Structure 1
């Protein structure tokens, strides 16, 4: 597994403005329990007014029902559970990235001049290398490639587009060249109805607390 490629994956989260809090456990440091849900199922209790009456209701996660999977052999079954494991490992990171993007984008809008924004993003990029490089080194090559796609799913933008938007086309091209040299691409799109159909099925179940 190439360290240079993993370093490149660190740029996927280059929109943070603060280091991780000391009491925060990063997703990649958590043990993946295949028998427990990655996300806690949501239960919301409220009241709705109907005419003169108030009716209490309970809102829960969506429940997904899919046809049972049929494995041709043990190797195929093992590959499926490895995919589940990897998704449970990196999906929280992709969601973290989306939240950081929203917060950082809102903050950049408060900076009045382009020069100040550029100076701020240079500081952000340096901080990201220091904060996220060791985090991304903990991921396997397969998990890194999966993370690239899940970031597209969560952010509705490829990792390349995110780097380009915040650091410009030159820097985006630089990071893409590194990824390409090691068999990956920051331009990878997530295809929930195509190549990533099985991934989407698992993601929906993980989000709903069913896996």
Structure 2
């Protein structure tokens, strides 16, 4: 569900008084060409216009009382009902999984971001250049994440993998194969068996109901914005 919300940015009195040297700009002095629309807000006619906030062009309006309201959109959110558990053991397991999911959440979110950007950046690359790009990326990621990831428990590592598989709708074997090749995929698939994990299994909704309930509360999605791509070029 995409929710449109209005962030109220009240103009504080102490800020206005600090700008006494600047000429007062009334509501009527706003450039008419920037007006986008007129809406009714609490029985008042409010003009919408474009403004810049932290480098982003956003829609805003000034109310009759002088308040500035900036409008934006939230990402999709998940609203879930209160959980019901069959046994106290199931509840304890849910809470444990949720704690562990919170620990690995930042890594899962970063992994999805890196995957999406790499997927887009290498889309038009030739095989040799793509391989070189991914190898360099792997070295950078190893330096950045090897130490914190090595501290994860076996279960935390599994939850991290399930988070990623659930978001990308692909098993880890397929992901490794697409990025590193078939030999690397088979190597890590065999190595993962030492930890009782099957990289070909993937995320299967309904197989682990408690894990499903936990992962529904963690959004690790990432979409590539055109502005982000321009900055990276």
TM-score tier by shorter-chain length is 0.5 to 0.7
Per the normalisation by structure 2, the TM-score is 0.57
Question: In the alignment, which residue of structure 1 is the partner of 2:158?
Answer: 145
Deviation at 1:85, TM superposition (A): 0.7
Native 8 Å contact 2:5 2:72 kept in 1: yes
Identify which of 171, 186, 195 aligns with 2:207: 195
- Once the two structures are superposed, the pairs formed by residues 71-150 of structure 1 within 5 Å of their partners are 71=87, 73=88, 75-111=89-125, 113-150=126-163
Partners of 1:174 and 1:122 in 2: CA distance: 17
For residues 118-175 of structure 1, what are the alpha-carbon distances to aligned partners after superposition, in whole Å with 9 as ceiling and x for unaligned? 2222222333333322121121111111111111011111221111001110111111
Per the normalisation by structure 1, the TM-score is 0.63
- In the superposition, relative to structure 1, how do residues 115 and 62 fare at CA in structure 2: closer, same or farther (>3 Å)? closer
- In the superposition, relative to structure 1, how do residues 164 and 206 fare at CA in structure 2: closer, same or farther (>3 Å)? closer
In terms of Rg, which structure is larger?
Answer: 2
Partners of 2:110 and 2:40 in 1: CA distance: 36
Q: Mark the runs of 5 or more structure 2 residues left unpaired by the alignment.
A: 7-36, 42-70, 220-233
- In the superposition, relative to structure 1, how do residues 205 and 123 fare at CA in structure 2: closer, same or farther (>3 Å)? closer
Structure showing the higher helix proportion among its residues: 1
Native 8 Å contact 2:78 2:217 kept in 1: no
1:161 aligns with 2:177: no
The runs of at least 4 consecutive aligned structure 1 residues that moved more than 6 Å come to 55-60
1:205 aligns with 2:217: yes
State the SS of the aligned residue for 2:5: strand
Partners of 2:162 and 2:202 in 1: CA distance: 6
Deviation at 1:67, TM superposition (A): 5.3
Structure showing the higher strand proportion among its residues: 2
Q: Mark the runs of 5 or more structure 1 residues left unpaired by the alignment.
A: 1-41, 47-51
Native 8 Å contact 1:160 1:172 kept in 2: yes
State the SS of the aligned residue for 1:205: coil
What count of residue pairs does the alignment treat as equivalent?
A: 157
For residues 80-115 of structure 1, what are the alpha-carbon distances to aligned partners after superposition, in whole Å with 9 as ceiling and x for unaligned? 21111112222332222111111111111253x222
